[in-house]
Structure 1
Amino acid sequence: MHTIMSDKYQMFENRLAKVYKHLAKTARRQGISCFRLYDRDLPEFPLIIELYEDKVSVAEYLSSHGMDDDAYDDWLERSVQRVGNVLNAPREDIFLRTRQRKTDRQSQYEKISIEKAEIVAKEDGLNFKVNLSDYLDTGLFLDHRITRHMVREESKDKHVLNLFCYTGSFSVYAAAGGAASVTSADLSKTYLKWAEDNMELNGIYDPAKHHYVHADVLQYLDDLKINTFDLVIMDPPTFSNSKRMKDFLDIQRDHVTLINKVLMAMKKDGVLYFSNNLRRFELDEPAIEASSIKNITAQTIPFDFQGKLQRHCFRIIK
């Protein structure tokens, strides 16, 4: 039995080493220091492993592993050990996040640790505060690296709106691209503060140009003036039933209403980047009042997410 277990860990380590060699080469060539290394590649190891500079984030996904607590803890620690072997990373540089069983769909906002391991990570020459310990996500969604670059390329002199802005990484890119103004809206004060911190980290904090709106986006859309924005980013949660929201959000059911309200607030020929993570999402194109809709999912998948990404991304022109 022990040999079978050892073989299993060796298989995991071999897999990691092979993938790391391949991805690290591409990352170096592209000047990328934060990337996803492993995403539940082997069913016995339901982990997501990401590198942020010289730190390692290991997130464990819920699985019906059938182990008792002691066996599970042993499995987790031995898995982390193998990660350290491959990456030559000391244990204190590996940050482990495990998902608690919660029925609340908003559990992504729950703090999961009293530690505070924050670092500044670089992407595309910009700085971002990354938290490796306290939340289920680090604060920087690596899968939108290419989409952020697209936004930066077309932000010059534009009035930009970032809805469900999370920690404001799209806002930072837009401001760095020379946007005339950037408005970031989110229901979480924690994330809005984080978005402000990210702007400050890049020396582009300017209250006269860049605004942070604490609001339920579903209601906020009804208050927007028409023909105001040139460029909008909207990456909503798949579902949300936060107690602070008036209505609950179901992105398949509600996307037409959301998109059409956003288009009302945009100038003619304005661009909306719309994405979501619902695996079986289908865009109801005929119901959307746009002059052009392009599915850009394939173009926005980075090298470290090839074949692994379940999100959708569209470029919609008013």
Structure 2
Amino acid sequence: MFENRLTKVFRHISKSARRQNITCYRVYDDDIPEFPFSIEIYEDYAYIAEYSRKHTMDEDAHEAWLDNCLELISKVLDISPSKIWVKQRQRKENRQSQYEKLSQESHILTANEGGLKFKVNLSDYLDTGLFLDHRITRDMVRSEAKDKKVLNLFCYTGSFSVYAAAGGAASVTSVDLSKTYLSWAEENMQLNGFNGPQYTFEHADVLQYLDNLKINTYDLVIMDPPTFSNSKRMKDFLDIQRDHVTLLNKVLMATKKDGIVYFSNNYRRFVLDSENIEASSIKDITAQTLPFDFQQKLIRKCYKLIK
């Protein structure tokens, strides 16, 4: 059952990827409940996340089952077992879990997307450093960044910042609470030749950082916050459903007239309170920003706001 499903979706998705010259994409995402994996291709490597679930197997039996699954995945994807990396994750995680190192060994490679380069880590953290579902959104940012002052909040590893710089942004400011990921963002910028004083990296709690921004400063803002965050380094607890209106209105105050704000989050039950957001235009762009390899799984919401 699993082999048939994986063979079918891989044949279809890999064909679309080759046609679009895409080398990093998702192949499978929990399609069959008994095989709760997310499988992604990064160049000639495979990254597999096994979602935790209740089962009746003891530890040895589970390991044997997993080994059998990996052997099958290796065969279907035609990727050597030595180039397959596996992580186990909870179905519900906060952003902090991304930051926790899982392994003492590292396997880092350079991934290519949209003519740009990104450092990807397959071994050390729960996430690789490149969220593949925002491929189209990143390209939108690149197409609109020319000569603009860009602010990337909750920047993670700075992929939106790289695209903004590639689009000719006048300046790009990247903000994150994690020094690890902010340093990674700087590496990604340098990997693409984006050095200089117009590219700045701010180690800060975004909730507090927004209170200190000057009004009417930025032309283009990207905000992709976690659903929840209670990091010890944060002054306040973040709940995106509860707090999004306050966050967005503070962002809009710092945005110039007719400036653009891209806002996304991966809370599946998220409802935008558009009536209380002080924007002249709000458009739900979730569907048009969902790539071909995520069509079956609506994993996040995405909006374009104009001040």
TM-score of the alignment, normalized to the shorter chain, above 0.5: yes
Shift of residue 106 of structure 1? Answer: 2.4
Tell me the equivalent position of 2:106: 116
Shift of residue 42 of structure 1? Answer: 0.7
Task: Give a deviation string over 1:193-213, Cα, whole Å, max 9, x none.
Answer: 00000001101122x100000
Structure 2 counterpart SS, 1:108? helix
Give 1:152's match in structure 2, choosing from 142, 147, 157: 142
Tell me the equivalent position of 1:3: none
Structure 2 counterpart SS, 1:45? coil
Sequence identity (%): 69
Task: Give a deviation string over 1:14-50, Cα, whole Å, max 9, x none.
Answer: 2111111100110011110000000001111100000
Answering whether residue 218 of structure 2 is matched by residue 225 of structure 1, we say: no
CA distance in 1, matches of 2:292, 2:220: 26
Name the aligned partner's letter for residue 203 of structure 2.
H
Tell me the equivalent position of 2:291: 302
Shift of residue 105 of structure 1? Answer: 6.6
Answering whether residue 227 of structure 2 is matched by residue 238 of structure 1, we say: yes
Structure 2 counterpart SS, 1:204? coil
RMSD of aligned Cα (Å)? 1.3
CA distance in 2, matches of 1:103, 1:46: 16
- Give the ranges of 4+ consecutive aligned residues of structure 1 lying more than 6 Å apart after TM superposition: 100-105
CA distance in 1, matches of 2:206, 2:110: 28
Shift of residue 114 of structure 1? Answer: 1.2
| CA spacing shift, 1:102–1:115, aligned 2, 3 Å | farther
| Stretch moving more, 197-206 or 168-177 | 197-206
Tell me the equivalent position of 2:47: 57
Shift of residue 101 of structure 1? Answer: 9.7
CA distance in 1, matches of 2:139, 2:281: 21
Gapped runs of 5+ residues in structure 1? 1-10
Name the aligned partner's letter for residue 38 of structure 2.
I
Shift of residue 77 of structure 1? Answer: 1.1
Shift of residue 109 of structure 1? Answer: 1.8
Shift of residue 64 of structure 1? Answer: 0.7
Shift of residue 112 of structure 1? Answer: 1.1
Name the aligned partner's letter for residue 218 of structure 1.
L
CA distance in 1, matches of 2:178, 2:81: 32
> Residues 281-292 of structure 1 correspond to what in structure 2 (within 5 A)?
281-292=270-281
> Residues 69-218 of structure 1 correspond to what in structure 2 (within 5 A)?
69-99=59-89, 106-206=96-196, 208-218=197-207
Number of aligned residue pairs: give it: 307
Task: Give a deviation string over 1:88-114, Cα, whole Å, max 9, x none.
Answer: 111110001112799877222211111
Taking structure 2 as the reference length, what is the TM-score of the superposition? 0.98
CA distance in 2, matches of 1:281, 1:100: 20
CA distance in 1, matches of 2:221, 2:94: 29
